[in-house]
Amino acid sequence: MVCTTSSHWSYSPGVVLTPRPLRTTVRDEYTSCTGSVAATGTSEFVVDRSAGCLEPLAAVPETRVITWADGSTSTFTYTVTVTSAPGADVITKIGTITGGVFAGRSAQAVQAAPATDLLLCLSEEGITRQSSLGTFTVL
C-alpha cells in the first residue's frame, strides 16, 4: 500500500534558536492510498520535549495510531530521523505496523519540508507552524 501524505506541526511556544521546553502537535493526512480498502486516513499526536532551531537532529522513537476512513486503525511504531538538504529538511520514519490493519508488516514514510527559516528562529515568537509532503508505504 502507498499513500500520499501531508503533515502539519504546531509548536507552543514557538521554536527559537536556543532549545526550550515546548509542546508539538502533529496531524498527518493519508490520501490517495492504493492497495487498501480505505483510501484515506489521519493520525494526530502530541509530544512534549525540548527543542531549538539549531539542536542536533537525533533519531527518535515514536508511535502513532492511523485511523482509516472505514474506522479501522493501524499502529505505526518507528524511528524518525531528519536530515537537511539545500532548501529542505527530509523526514524519514522507518518501522513496523505493530497493531491493527497490516500488523507485522514493515512501513516507512518519507517527507520533505522547507528548510528552517533562521530569521524566524531569532524572532520572539519563533516558528509556530511547519508542513511537509511525502509518501507512506506499507511493505
- Output the pTM of the full model: 0.86
How far is residue 125's CA from residue 116's CA, in Å, rounded to a whole number? 14
Mean pLDDT in the chain?
89
Task: Parse the chain into domains and list their residue ranges.
Answer: 2-138
pLDDT, tens digit, 9 for 90 and up, residues 98-111: 999 999 999 999 99
31 CB neighbour count, 10 Å cutoff? 14
